[in-house]
C-alpha cells in the first residue's frame, strides 16, 4: 500500500515537472519572439561640456539641444544620452570632466571650451580613444583644429554680427539723425562694452561694429570702451561709471552681447538718463527681444539659431559608422559656419506678419 502511494506520488510529481518544463519553454519561446519583433534601441552617448552653465546664451543653446534630442527620440529608435558638464570657467575642471566622459565610454564630445587657446590637450586625449570632438561657440585656433581629422567647429563668423550691429546704427542714423545725434554735432559719441578678452566674438564684434559707419563716412567719437565679460551686472557697473563721467553725452552704446546691453540699460535707467541712447546687442535672447519691443533696445543680432540642431545632427552622424557627413556642409574639413540674423523692431513686425 505504502509503496503504491509512493509510486503514485512520484508519477504525479513527474507529470507536474513535465508540465512546468513545457510551460517554461512556452514562456521562453514567447518572450524570444516578442523581443525579436521589438525595434532595436540604439543608445548614443554625447558628452557635452559647457564653459559655464551661468552663461545666458550657452544655457539657452543647451536647453534647446535637450529638447531636440527628446523630439528625435520620439521619432526614431534612438536613445540619446546627453550628459552635461559645467566647466565653471575653469579649464582644469573642464579637462577633468572630459577625462570622465572618455572613461565612461561616450561616443562623441561637444565642447564649449573654456580657454580656446588650450584645445590641443583635449583633442589629443579624444584622438587617443578615437572619440570625435565638436567644438562650438568658442573657436579653437586653426592649428589645433587641424591636429586630427575628427575635430569640428560649429559656429557663426563673429565679424558678421559686428557688421550687422553697425548697419542697425547706420539705418537708424539715416532714418532719423537728430534722434541719435543728441548734441547735433554730426558725430556719434559712443561707448563700447566688450565681451570676455580673447574670445573671438568679442574681438571681431568690437572691430567690425564700427566699419559700416566708417564706410558711410559717419564721424565717430569713442568716449570709452572696456570689457564686462559678457555679464549684465558687470556691464551695469561699468555703465554707471560712464553715466557719471559722460552723462547725456553718450549717444550710442555698442555691446558685444545682449546681457551687457541690458546691463547698460539697467544702469542708465537707474541714473535717470532719458531718453535712452541707441543701444545694440547680439544674441536675441528673450529679455532682449522684450527690451526691443519696449523700445529700450535699438536692435540685436540673432546668434546662430540653427546651432543646437546642427550640433545634434553632427553628433548623431559621427556616432553612427554607417552615416555620412556629406550633407553637413563642412568647410576645410573642420568648419560648419552658421548665419547671424539682424533683428530690429521692423524685422520683428515682419516676422509676425509672416507668422513666425
E strand or H helix at 98, and its extent?
helix 91-103
Options 86, 160, 181, 283; binder of ligand BGC; rule CB under 6 A: 283
What letter does residue 318 receive in the DSSP assignment?
A: H
For the four alpha carbons of 85, 90, 96 and 101, in that order, the dihedral sign comes to positive
For the four alpha carbons of 145, 306, 281 and 90, in that order, the dihedral sign comes to negative
Rounded-to-5 percentages of helix, strand, coil across the chain: 50, 20, 30
What letter does residue 117 receive in the DSSP assignment?
A: T
Considering the rule CB under 5 A, would residue 351 count as an interface residue with Ca ion? no
Cα-to-chain-centroid distance, residue 174 = 34
> How buried is residue 139: exposed, middle or buried, by Cβ count under 10 Å (0-12/13-18/19+)?
buried
Residue 334 interacting partner from ligand BGC, Ca ion, none (CB closer than 5 to 8 Å by kind): none
Closest approach of ligand BGC to the CB of residue 252, in Å:
19
Options 152, 208, 230, 242; binder of ligand BGC; rule CB under 6 A: 230
In degrees rounded to 5, what are phi and psi of residue 354? -80, 0
Site string for ligand BGC, 251-270 (x = CB under 6 A): ------x-------------
Nearer to ligand BGC, 191 or 235 (CB): 235
Options 67, 183, 329, 351; binder of Ca ion; rule CB under 5 A: 183
Closest approach of Ca ion to the CB of residue 232, in Å:
27
Pick the stretch among 53-61, 73-81, 290-298, 319-327 that binds ligand BGC (CB under 6 A): 53-61
d(CA 339, CA 113): 21
Considering the rule CB under 6 A, would residue 160 count as an interface residue with ligand BGC? no
Contact 319, 290 (CB under 8 A): no
Options 44, 49, 50, 58; binder of ligand BGC; rule CB under 6 A: 58
Q: What nine digits make up the cell of 124?
A: 589629443
Closest approach of ligand BGC to the CB of residue 84, in Å:
16
Considering the rule CB under 5 A, would residue 180 count as an interface residue with Ca ion? no
Place of cell 560648419: 336
Pick the stretch among 50-58, 76-84, 86-94, 206-214 that binds ligand BGC (CB under 6 A): 50-58
Considering the rule CB under 6 A, would residue 115 count as an interface residue with ligand BGC? no
Q: Return residues touching ligand BGC (CB under 6 A).
A: 55, 57-58, 137-138, 199, 201, 230, 257, 282-283, 303
Amino acid at each position: 500500500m505504502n509503496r503504491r502511494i509512493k509510486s503514485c506520488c512520484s508519477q504525479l510529481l513527474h507529470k507536474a515537472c513535465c508540465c512546468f518544463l513545457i510551460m517554461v519553454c512556452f514562456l521562453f519561446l514567447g518572450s524570444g519572439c516578442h523581443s525579436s519583433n521589438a525595434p532595436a534601441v540604439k543608445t548614443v552617448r554625447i558628452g557635452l561640456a559647457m564653459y559655464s552653465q551661468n552663461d545666458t546664451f550657452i544655457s539657452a543653446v543647451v536647453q534647446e539641444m535637450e529638447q531636440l534630442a527628446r523630439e528625435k527620440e520620439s521619432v526614431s529608435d534612438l536613445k540619446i544620452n546627453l550628459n552635461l558638464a559645467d566647466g565653471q570657467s575653469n579649464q582644469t575642471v573642464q579637462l577633468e570632466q572630459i577625462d570622465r566622459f572618455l572613461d565612461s565610454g561616450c561616443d562623441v564630445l561637444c565642447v564649449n571650451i573654456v580657454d580656446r587657446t588650450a584645445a590641443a590637450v583635449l583633442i589629443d586625449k579624444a584622438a587617443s580613444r578615437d572619440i570625435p570632438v565638436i567644438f562650438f561657440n568658442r573657436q579653437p585656433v586653426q592649428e589645433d583644429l587641424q591636429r586630427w581629422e575628427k575635430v569640428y567647429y560649429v559656429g557663426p563668423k563673429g565679424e558678421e554680427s559686428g557688421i550687422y550691429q553697425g548697419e542697425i546704427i547706420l539705418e537708424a542714423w539715416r532714418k532719423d539723425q537728430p534722434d541719435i545725434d543728441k548734441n547735433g554735432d554730426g558725430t556719434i559719441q559712443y561707448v563700447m562694452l566688450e565681451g570676455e578678452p580673447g574670445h573671438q566674438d568679442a574681438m571681431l564684434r568690437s572691430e567690425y561694429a564700427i566699419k559700416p559707419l566708417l564706410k558711410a563716412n559717419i564721424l565717430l567719437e569713442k568716449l570709452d570702451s572696456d570689457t564686462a565679460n559678457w555679464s549684465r551686472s558687470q556691464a551695469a557697473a561699468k555703465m554707471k561709471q560712464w553715466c557719471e563721467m559722460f552723462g547725456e553725452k553718450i549717444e550710442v552704446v555698442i555691446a558685444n552681447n545682449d546681457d551687457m546691453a541690458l546691463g547698460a540699460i539697467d544702469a542708465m535707467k537707474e541714473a535717470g538718463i532719458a531718453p535712452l541712447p541707441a543701444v545694440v546687442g547680439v544674441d536675441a535672447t528673450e529679455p532682449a527681444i522684450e527690451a526691443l519691443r519696449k523700445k529700450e533696445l535699438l536692435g540685436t543680432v540673432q546668434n546662430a539659431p540653427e546651432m543646437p540642431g546642427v550640433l545634434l545632427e553632427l553628433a548623431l552622424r559621427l556616432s553612427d559608422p554607417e552615416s555620412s557627413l556629406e550633407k553637413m556642409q563642412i568647410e576645410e574639413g573642420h568648419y560648419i559656419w552658421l548665419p547671424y540674423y539682424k533683428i530690429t523692431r521692423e524685422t520683428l513686425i515682419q516676422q509676425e506678419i509672416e507668422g513666425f
